[in-house]
């Protein structure tokens, strides 16, 4: 599963710079989450990091990171021009696409219901009257607030989301399948009880009309075409998880 660090060098060769080489950095607003963007052995690594580091190198630029606490902070950082790219497990919902551009998809996801132990809910109709943990500002919060008598318990971070369920402050949590994989590594007692809302995907967010949007999308597409995408997944996920990810596309 752990491949050499030169892998980032390999994927950086998959794209020819669309723009002239520049010494200007490409700044990314990050909401850290293992195994997507996180620190390990004094280095930043992860699926999102490796894609963006390779992309920056293909553009003759250096990648700079601004680590932020919440999804809302990431979007604010883009709007305020503190960064060019948002990397925070972002689903390109219609509402978000009105405000931002998005790259090609880099990770398929489904919304999952998770319990601490035995499942008592299996679909959205079961959530009325339940204490449900979710991420503030997430794409699925907009749907959950419409469920009659639901009691939403908000988390600002993915780590806190797991803590809320582990301490039984909530009866279930709802979040992306990619986040569930990480939470279940730390909490093996968690149980997947069902999926909601069909399939979706993550993409990187950029400001409207950003000159980087098309170049980044082309870079991601080339990763898939050349098979480097699967190599990237195998670097960070167990083989059975990789098969689930690839099968969800």
Asked if residue 193 and residue 167 are part of one domain, the reply reads yes
Asked if residue 103 and residue 21 are part of one domain, the reply reads yes
Query: Domain for residue 2, yes or no?
Result: no
User: How would DSSP label each residue in 115-177?
Assistant: EESS----SGGGGTT-EEEEETT-TTHHHHTTSTT-EEEEESSHHHHHHHHHTTSSSEEEEEH
Phi-psi region of 105 (alpha: psi -120 to 50; beta: other; left: phi over 0): beta
Q: How far, in Å, CA of 202 to CA of 219, rounded?
A: 15
Asked if residue 156 and residue 49 are part of one domain, the reply reads no
20 to each of 12, 181, 195, 221, how far by Cα in Å?
16, 39, 45, 21
- Burial environment of residue 112 by CB neighbours within 10 A (0 to 12, 13 to 18, 19 or more): buried
- pLDDT for 247 equals 60
Asked if residue 221 and residue 154 are part of one domain, the reply reads no
Q: Which domain range does residue 160 map to? A: 110-199
Q: How far, in Å, CA of 140 to CA of 93, rounded?
A: 10
Q: For every one of its 249 residues, what pLDDT tens digit does the chain have, with 9 covering 90 and above?
A: 544 444 444 444 444 444 444 568 999 999 988 889 999 988 999 999 999 999 999 999 999 999 998 889 999 999 999 999 999 989 898 999 999 999 999 988 888 899 999 998 888 889 999 999 998 877 778 788 889 999 999 988 888 999 999 999 999 998 888 788 778 878 889 998 988 766 788 999 999 999 999 999 999 999 887 778 888 989 988 876 777 676 655
Asked if residue 101 and residue 208 are part of one domain, the reply reads yes
The tens digit of pLDDT for each residue in 173-223 reads 988 887 887 788 788 899 989 887 667 889 999 999 999 999 999 999 998
Asked if residue 206 and residue 194 are part of one domain, the reply reads no
């Amino acid at each position: 599963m752990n491949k050499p660090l030169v892998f980032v060098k390999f994927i950086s060769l998959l794209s020819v710079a669309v723009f002239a080489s520049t010494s200007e950095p490409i700044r990314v607003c990050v909401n850290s989450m293992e195994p997507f963007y996180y620190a390990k052995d004094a280095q930043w690594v992860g699926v999102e990091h490796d894609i963006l580091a390779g992309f920056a190198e293909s553009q003759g630029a250096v990648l700079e990171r601004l680590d932020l606490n919440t999804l809302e902070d990431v979007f604010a950082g883009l709007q305020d021009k503190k960064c060019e790219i948002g990397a925070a497990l972002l689903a390109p919902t219609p509402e978000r696409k009105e405000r931002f551009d998005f790259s090609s998809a880099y990770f398929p996801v489904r919304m999952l219901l998770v319990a601490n132990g035995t499942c008592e809910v299996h679909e959205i109709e079961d959530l009325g009257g339940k204490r449900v943990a979710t991420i503030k500002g997430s794409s699925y919060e907009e749907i959950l607030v419409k469920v009659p008598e639901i009691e939403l318990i908000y988390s600002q971070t993915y780590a806190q989301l797991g803590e809320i369920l582990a301490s039984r402050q909530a009866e279930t949590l709802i979040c992306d399948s990619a986040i569930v994989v990480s939470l279940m590594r730390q909490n093996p007692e968690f149980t997947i009880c069902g999926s909601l809302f069909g399939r979706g995907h993550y993409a990187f967010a950029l400001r409207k009309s950003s000159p980087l949007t098309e170049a980044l999308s082309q870079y991601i597409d080339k990763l898939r075409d050349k098979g480097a995408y699967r190599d990237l997944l195998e670097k960070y996920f167990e083989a059975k998880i990789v098969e689930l990810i690839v099968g969800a596309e």
